[in-house]
Amino acid sequence: MTHTHITRRQMIGAAGAGGLAVLIGGVRPGSGGLEAAPEQALAATCIMTPAKTVGPYFVDEKLNRSDVRESQVGIPLTLTMHVFDADNDCRPLSGAIVDIWHCNNNGLYSDEAANNTSGQKWLRGYQTTDSDGKVTFLTNYPGWYSGRAVHIHYKVRVYDGATETLEFTSQLFFTDAQNKTVIADPRYSAHGATPDTTDVTDSIYGGDSSLLLQPTGDNASGYAAEFSVGVSKTTSQLGNDSAGGPGAPGSGGTTAGDTSVGAKLASVTSLKVSGRRRLRASISATEHVRAAARLTRAGTLLASASANLGTGTHAIDVRIPQRVRAGAATLTITLTDGAGNTKRVTRPVHVRSLRA
């Protein structure tokens, strides 16, 4: 199966969020001079998923199973994940090992001495992606524990024989509104009806909406969610979100005032407008900022764009020249406020082929 055969269901679930395959154009003033035009939203699988910490609770149990619930109490959640190869024009990646693990309704992980659950195996397991790059798990909606927003851990591993050639780890999150609905259920509220950490205050989530699941269903019947993961063997997926002056991202050149920039990168979307490729960065600002975007590959500049943005949420488009070949690349957004403070955000992305 090639990417051109991705189903509508897969496309809608691609970034863990629902959407339309066609967006009718037009954006607010100050968004970089975008023209109103019909826009084809390319499957969000082409935005490679940011890596997140593995955390202290991964145990390589090697439990090959789809239903990971065992006897745990909770609201059922059917989680379908699609894995795509960003080095091969986002084609489905078959034969990848996908592990998930998360806490139960009381905020506890299995097989952890600190949780008094040593030897127990619930809410852990792996599946191998099929020819469509798909795995499905039957689990429970996770609970919460102090210091973290509600989340699910996952790991993708690829082997060539006995040799591991790729290992990618990240986390999935839910909206605070969704968590509030679930945790009000008696199966969860006995542990505490109000989590002490939201998505915004979670130290790992980082405000990246591409990590959000958007389940359908309800507390009575259970939920279902889909998520797509783009992985690369050749490009680091460790997204960087740093404050600092001139210099390379993550170079450490920061000052105390740099963290005051009132703007953040909310999402990145891959689009085609009038047959031409572009990446759209959505930026949320609480003050006037200058946004400069640079798309690079192996240190070579592929495309750039800039705009002056007011408060609110705006979009800036990076138009990709026809000469740029498909493949992994890095999008860097530099945000500068009126006082000269800067904030730099990098995201690994995938440039779609002209044929897609």
The DSSP string of 127-188 is EE--TTSEEEEEEE-----TTS-SEEEEEEEEEETTEEEEEEEEEEEE-HHHHHHHHTSHHH
Give yes or no for residue 258 having a pLDDT over 70. no
Same domain for 116 and 161? yes
pLDDT tens by residue, 59-95: 999 999 999 999 999 999 999 998 988 777 678 899 9
Bridge partners (DSSP) listed for residue 67: 138
B/e letters for 4-27, b = 16+ CB within 10 Å, e = fewer, are: eebeeebbbbbbbbeeeeebeeeb
Same domain for 190 and 254? no
Asked if 114 contacts 51 with a C-beta cutoff of 8 angstroms, the reply is: no
Predicted local confidence at residue 167, as pLDDT? 93
- Poorest-pLDDT segment among 82-91, 127-136, 175-184, 288-297: 82-91
Give yes or no for residue 261 having a pLDDT over 70. yes
Same domain for 141 and 209? yes
Same domain for 159 and 245? no
In a domain, 159, yes or no: yes
Mean pLDDT for the stretch of residues 193-203: 91
Number of helices and strands in the chain (H, E)? 3, 20
Q: Which residue has the tokens 């970089």?
A: 32
Give me the DSSP letters along 237-269.
---EEEE-SSSSTTS----GGGGG--EEEEEEE
In a domain, 256, yes or no: yes
Q: Which residue has the tokens 């998930």?
A: 100
User: Total structural domains in the chain?
Assistant: 2
Same domain for 223 and 247? no
Same domain for 124 and 221? yes
Environment class of 102 (CB within 10 Å of its CB; exposed 0-12, middle 13-18, buried 19+): buried
Among the three residues 231, 249, 279, which one is the final residue of a domain in this structure?
231
Q: Which residue has the higher pLDDT, 124 or 27?
A: 124
Instruction: Write the CATH number for 183.
Output: 2.60.130.10
- CA–CA distance, 167 with 306 (Å, rounded to integer): 35
Q: Which residue has the tokens 């699941």?
A: 213
The percent of residues in the chain predicted with pLDDT above 70, rounded, is 79
- CA–CA distance, 314 with 319 (Å, rounded to integer): 16
Q: Which residue has the higher pLDDT, 176 or 26?
A: 176
Q: Which residue has the higher pLDDT, 85 or 217?
A: 217
Residue 294 amino acid letter = R
Same domain for 91 and 176? yes
In 3D space, the residue among 348, 126, 153 whose CA is nearest the CA of residue 236 turns out to be 348
Residue 23 amino acid letter = L
- CA–CA distance, 86 with 329 (Å, rounded to integer): 10
Give yes or no for residue 127 having a pLDDT over 70. yes
In a domain, 122, yes or no: yes
Same domain for 251 and 144? no
| Confidence at 42, pLDDT banded by 50, 70, 90 | low
The mean pLDDT value of the chain amounts to 80
- CA–CA distance, 16 with 311 (Å, rounded to integer): 27
Q: Give the residue numbers spanning the domain of 324.
A: 235-351
Question: E-assigned strands of 10-92?
Answer: 22-24, 38-41, 76-85, 91-92
In a domain, 150, yes or no: yes
Same domain for 137 and 248? no
Chain centre distance of CA 76: 22
Predicted local confidence at residue 185, as pLDDT? 97
In a domain, 271, yes or no: yes
